[in-house]
């Protein structure tokens, strides 16, 4: 099953995010092909900064996704204000495999 993880950073936490970025990216990479797409949410304006994360992950259950979220280095560092997990259905797009 596919799930969307939507994590919002705490206010004024860019320094904390950057300090844990390498560990977070290694963690995401370690999930292998389970990660379908991932990247930061950005602020508006001429100089956008990361304000959160969005990940599409293939997992057996919402509980498995919660465990994945709980062990993310960003989460263990206390970066996130909130984390939402939602079931997600692929429908269309260049990156969506044709069934």
CATH number for the domain formed by residue range(s) 2-87 = 3.30.70.1060
pLDDT of 13 strictly over 80:
yes
Does the predicted model carry a pTM greater than 0.85? yes
Name 39's bridge partners: 54
For the chain, what are the domain ranges?
A: 2-87
Residue pair 54/75 in contact (Cβ under 8 Å)? The answer is no
Secondary structure (3-state) at 62? helix
Residue 60 φ/ψ, nearest 5 degrees: -70, -30
Question: What is the overall mean pLDDT for the chain?
Answer: 95
- Whole-angstrom distance between the N-terminal and C-terminal Cα of the chain? 15
Mean pLDDT of 61-72: 98
pLDDT at residue 96 above 80?
A: no
CA distances from 73 to 38, 93, 98 (A): 15, 30, 34
């Amino acid at each position: 099953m596919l799930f969307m993880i939507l994590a919002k950073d705490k206010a004024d936490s860019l320094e904390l995010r950057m300090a844990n970025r390498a560990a977070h990216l290694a963690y995401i990479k370690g999930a292998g092909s389970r990660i379908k797409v991932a990247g930061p949410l950005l602020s508006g304006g001429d100089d956008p900064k990361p304000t959160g994360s969005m990940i599409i992950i293939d997992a057996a259950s919402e509980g498995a996704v919660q465990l994945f979220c709980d062990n993310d280095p960003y989460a263990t560092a206390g970066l996130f204000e909130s984390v939402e997990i939602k079931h997600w259905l692929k429908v269309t797009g260049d990156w969506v495999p044709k069934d």
